[in-house]
Amino acid sequence: MIMAEPVSRMAPKGQDAPADAAAPASVDEMTLVKRARKGDLVAYDELVRRYQERIYATVYHMTSNHEDANDLAQEAFIKAFHALKSFKGGSSFYTWVYRIAVNKTINFLKQRKNRTQISLNDLDLNAEHDPDLVALVSDKTPRRDIDLAELQEKLNIAMQKLSEQHRMVVTLHDVQGLSHEEIAEIMDCNIGTVRSRLFYARQQLQAYLSDYLK
């Protein structure tokens, strides 16, 4: 959960939310966007409420730092608020703000080179075809937890060796569960590029883990 300041603080000074404004969960997204464009901060609060956890989770998987993820997610919503007039509705508001958050995170990682944490359970690495990995995950032995912790650390190191673009596509697809089409919109590329990046990233990660298991 983002510990965000109230959205009303994002608005220009002197602009307050209408006293009779309401944004129940039943109101559709575009209606909320239209109301927010007119200065209805309650409507924008509702948009933030709907999507802040997913945006935060994505950024956290990329930064592995709660404070950085909190700040970047907050900045993404602030930027989206101030740029609402440029939102044409060609995609969902969620996809649009997701793209803002992704771009901010990629830029942040290029500058800071922070570590990325990702769970072994998040990735589709065809583990069922690797008997060593199956045994490691399945066998309940005193050594199992130690081996899994070491393997998790190797995975985190491997993630750092991927480019920001490849790291992001793995996070969006394998961790957040977004479709290729949604990722293409968010990353502003075609579906073929998404698939090739995902394939390459998985191959690289699997190769690194296979070396460890041997």
Measured over the CA atoms of residue 57, residue 61, residue 65 and residue 71, the dihedral's sign is negative
pLDDT in tens, 139-189: 554 444 556 667 667 777 777 778 888 888 888 888 778 889 988 888 888
Query: Which CATH architecture group holds 7-112?
Result: Orthogonal Bundle (1.10)
Which pLDDT score is estimated for 187? 84
One-character DSSP codes across 43-90: HHHHHHHHHHHHHHHHHHHHH--HHHHHHHHHHHHHHHHHTGGG--SS
Average pLDDT of the chain is 75
Binning pLDDT at 50, 70 and 90, where does residue 66 land? confident
- Please tell me what DSSP assigns to residue 91: S
Joined tokens for residue 130: 């690797």
Q: Give the CATH number of domain 120-213; options: 3.40.50.2300, 1.10.10.10, 3.60.15.10, 1.10.620.20.
A: 1.10.10.10
Q: What is residue 7's predicted lDDT score, i.e. its pLDDT?
A: 41
The per-residue pLDDT for 74 is 93
Give the residue, 54 or 23, on which the prediction is more confident. Answer: 54
Compute CA distances 18 → 11, 26, 82, 137, whole Å: 13, 19, 18, 55
Band (pLDDT 50/70/90 cuts) for residue 53 is very high
Q: Quick check: 134 pLDDT over 80?
A: no
Which residue ranges does the chain devote to CATH 1.10.10.10? Answer: 120-213
**Which of 112 and 116 is assigned the larger pLDDT?**
112
The rounded percent of the chain whose pLDDT value lies above 70 is 68
Lowest mean pLDDT among 51-55, 59-63, 153-157: 153-157
